Amino acid sequence: MAGYTDAAFRAVCSGHGAALCFTEMVSADALARGNAVTLKLLEKFPEEKLTGFQIFGSRPSAAAEAVRRIAGRGPAIIDLNCGCSVPKVLRADCGAVLLRNPALVGSMVAAMRSETDIPVSVKLRLGWDESSLTYLACAEAALKAGAALVTLHPRTRAQGFRGTARWEHIRTLKSSCPVPVIGSGDLFSAQDCARMLQTTGCDGVMIARGSLGNPFIFRQAVALLQGDADKGRIAAGMRLATAMEHLRLLACQVGEAKACRDMRKHFVAYTRGLEGGSVVRESVVRAERIDEYVEIVESYLRD
């Protein structure tokens, strides 16, 4: 979710019912060096409820220093990413590479825990590939080192996002894990969230790609779990009003010009499935000011 889960998007998701939002994944090595650009990725908005910081790395000493530098910024939890399959991260021996070395996962968590009382969690995939499903060993090592929570995306590194997330492995992890287990993978509707909770017994769900252009999924899931299902489609007016709120928040964070450029990918997601939404998508790729976005949206709604 790098490039998406900035403070503006997290604030929008929080406003629609997300209980906890994570920052973009940031480098422990860069944090340890005090890199200003990396630290800026951890800035929060008042509208956010609870925010988790997620780091990636492979050196326990850097992880410890990173935690030392960021613990005072008010994270609700600090997460170690052991699942990212992006080539650039893998080449740095980070992310899903850690799945090949459960002992290193434990060492990383122990180093992080040595610097803070803030809960530390790990996010795992099943393993490097089908021949090495190491998630249970990685979870065990993390727990022995003091991890307070484990999240599992039940695909291997080799799968990427192909195929189907195998939720039965979440159930297996939950049955042997004494701390809360969060499930992730293929959550694109409120019904998916409820089904994962019911079929795996996990303690919560982490929505990732399913929230892009659809922060409404959080309130829909909460409503469904409380017995007040909201199955109706989100009207175009509400969808676009939320997109504009997102744009204005982003402009407060990074300035109007950059916000207008960065929001183009979000507008693609917000308008996916809307009748005539291609007109909006074709127009916003040229929009450079907020008032141009306003004109595009108002014209679409009039038509």
CATH number at residue 208: 3.20.20.70
As a whole number of angstroms, the distance between CA 2 and CA 239 comes to 23
231 lies in a domain? no
Residue 78 has pLDDT above 90, yes or no: yes
Q: Could you count the other beta carbons within 10 Å of the beta carbon of residue 83?
A: 26
The total domain count for the chain is 2
Residue 266 belongs to a domain: yes
The CA distance from 93 to 103, in Å, is 14
Confirm whether 45 is domain-assigned: yes
Q: Among residues 173, 192, 225, which one ends one of the domains?
A: 225
**Same-domain pairing of 194 and 259:** no
Full residue range of the structural domain in which residue 249 is found: 236-302
What single DSSP character describes residue 72? G
94 part of the active site: no
Q: pTM of this prediction?
A: 0.91
- 102 and 202 housed in the same domain: yes
Give how far the C-alpha of residue 254 lies from the chain's centroid of Cα atoms, to the nearest Å. Answer: 20
Residue 151's nearest CA partner among 175, 116, 183 is 183
Report the pLDDT value the prediction gives residue 232, as an integer from 0 to 100: 56
What b/e sequence results for 202-228 when a residue is b if at least 16 CB atoms lie within 10 Å of its CB, and e otherwise? bebbbbbbbbbbbbbbbbbbbebeeee
E-strand spans in the chain? 21-22, 26-27, 51-56, 77-82, 120-125, 149-153, 181-184, 204-206
Do 243 and 174 lie in one domain? The reply is no
SS3 state of residue 52: strand
209 and 243 share one domain: no
pLDDT mean across residues, the chain: 93
- Of 84, 94, 138, 177, which is the active-site residue? 84
Which residues fall within 8 angstroms of residue 275, CB to CB, at 6 or more apart? Answer: 236
Domain check: are 274 and 181 in the same one?
Answer: no
One domain, residues 112 and 261: no
Answer whether residue 230 shows pLDDT above 80.
Answer: no
pLDDT digits (tens, 9 = 90+) for 262-274: 999 999 999 998 8
Of 181, 201, 225, which residue sits at a domain end?
225
Return the minimum-mean-pLDDT range out of 23-27, 64-68, 224-228.
Answer: 224-228
The sign one gets for the Cα dihedral 148, 97, 41, 160 is negative
What gap in Å lies between CA 282 and CA 264, rounded to an integer?
10
We report the CATH number of the domain holding residue 247 as 1.10.1200
Residues 136 and 276 in one domain: no
- The DSSP code for 118 is S
Element (H, E) at 110: helix 102-113
Is residue 209 located within the same domain as residue 279?
no
Say whether both 265 and 159 belong to one domain.
Answer: no
Secondary structure (3-state) at 10: helix
Instruction: Name the domain boundary from 192, 225, 258.
Output: 225
Q: What is the pLDDT of residues 43-74, one digit of tens each?
A: 888 878 899 999 999 999 999 999 999 999 99
Residue 229 pLDDT exceeds 80? no
Task: Please tell me whether residues 140 and 274 are part of one structural domain.
Answer: no
Residue 302: its pLDDT value, please?
87
Query: Which residues lie across from 123 on neighbouring strands?
Result: 81, 151
Alpha carbons 192 and 186: distance in angstroms, whole number: 8
153 backbone dihedrals φ, ψ, rounded to 5°:
-100, 110
pLDDT of residue 177: 95
The answer to whether residue 295 sits within a structural domain is yes
Same domain as 76, residue 113: yes
**Spatial distance between the Cα atoms of 246 and 241, rounded to a whole number of angstroms:** 9
Residue 277 lies in a domain: yes
Tokens of 197: 């909770």
Q: Which of 262, 274, 276, 272 minimizes the C-alpha distance to 293? A: 262
What per-residue confidence (pLDDT) applies to 7?
93
Decide if 1 is inside a domain: no
Q: How far apart are the first and last CA of the chain?
A: 33
> 103 with 110: CB under 8 angstroms?
no
In a domain, 183, yes or no: yes
Dihedral (C-alpha) 118, 92, 44, 197: value to the nearest 10 degrees? -70
pLDDT digits (tens, 9 = 90+) for 154-203: 999 998 888 899 999 999 999 999 999 999 999 999 999 999 999 999 99
Is residue 61 a part of any domain in this protein? Answer: yes
The tokens describing 247, both together, are: 């744009």
CA 161 to chain centre: 15
286 and 221 share one domain:
no
Res 277: pLDDT: 87
- CA-wise closest residue to 50 among 12, 2, 10: 10
Beta pairing partners, 183? 152, 205
